[in-house]
Amino acid sequence: MTNRDKTRKVNTTTPSAARQYHLRLAGGEAVPDADRDLARRFDELFPHADTCVLHLRAFLIRAVRFMTDNGIRQFLDIGSGLPTGNTHDIARDRIPDARVVYVDNDPETVDHSRDLLLRQKALTSTAIIAGDLRNPDDIFAHPAARRLINFDEPLGVLLVSVLPFVPDSVRPRKLLARLYDFLPSGSYIAMTHGSPDDADPQIQQQLAAATTLYGQTFTPVTLRSRAQFAHLFSGFELVDPGITYAPDWHPDTTVDTTDPTRPCILAAIGYKP
């Protein structure tokens, strides 16, 4: 046990987005009751959340593999959450010396991830830093990012299940434009977004109720249209097939077209020429 483990105070009364995601992916036996209660209430309103999270994780895996297959050797995973199927493990299946910097704005998540990387003896080629998409300059100036990432070479950026937690009031398009400015030519960015546009009316109602619950409980969630999502890719060239449903992006299994959650998550990868 590290000194940080002994002194860290985990907020068990307020739900965490990272713990919610981890709970659905890995079961999260140590997840506090507040998170379990929110997940239960959320499922009562939108009973497809687990499936959506699996779609998000599967897209991230395919996105990392696509990037490594196209020469990317270094990654910036923003809003990485608690470690479940780590980006560095996925990348190193194809590129053993891949470098990854994880970024999260939750102190508990940062500590937990650092401890995991330490146990894996992975800190020579990975790092976890406290940072927020809302302050991209701080991310790129961080010493750990500077140590691991060569900003003269292309890199892969992951923004998976992040943008719905960025409200319009902080101007997400401006943040993405700043991120674009930092990226070298040849870089890729993978993004996802929740959208009710193409879902059937019942799913739309369920999504609206569930996102309202999140906003009332601990953090606002913004769903956006396909056009709004496309606007966030301004400057990037969209990789074929462009913006599509997450399960449909370069699928490695047969897509279940009857899955009611299939239209709920938009996904795409952009390329900076």
In this structure, are strands 156-159 and 188-194 parallel, antiparallel, or unpaired? Answer: parallel
For the chain, domains (ranges, CATH) are 17-272 (3.40.50.150)
Q: Is 171 left (phi over 0), alpha (psi -120 to 50) or beta?
A: left
Provide mean pLDDT across the span 167-172. 95
Report pLDDT digits (tens) over 181-222.
999 999 999 999 999 999 999 999 999 999 998 888 778 899
Amino acid at 220: P
Distance (Å, rounded) from C-alpha 128 to C-alpha 145? 9
Q: How many H-runs (helices) and E-runs (strands) does the chain carry? A: 11, 8
pLDDT at 216: 80
Q: What is the mean predicted confidence (pLDDT) over 19-27?
A: 73
pLDDT at 1: 37
Q: Which two tokens stand for residue 80?
A: 């990485």
Q: Give dist(CA 29, CA 218) in Å, integer.
A: 21
- Backbone φ and ψ of 58, nearest 5°: -65, -40
Instruction: Tell me: pLDDT of 84 over 90.
Output: no
pLDDT of 18 above 80: no
Is the pLDDT reported for residue 41 higher than 50? yes
Q: So what's the pLDDT on residue 200? A: 96
User: Is the pLDDT assigned to residue 92 strictly greater than 80?
Assistant: yes
pLDDT-based confidence at residue 83 (cuts at 50, 70, 90): low
Q: What is the mean pLDDT of the chain?
A: 90
Question: With a threshold of 0.85, does the pTM exceed it?
Answer: yes
Q: What pLDDT shows up at residue 7?
A: 43
Beta strands in 93-187 (DSSP E): 99-104, 126-130, 156-159
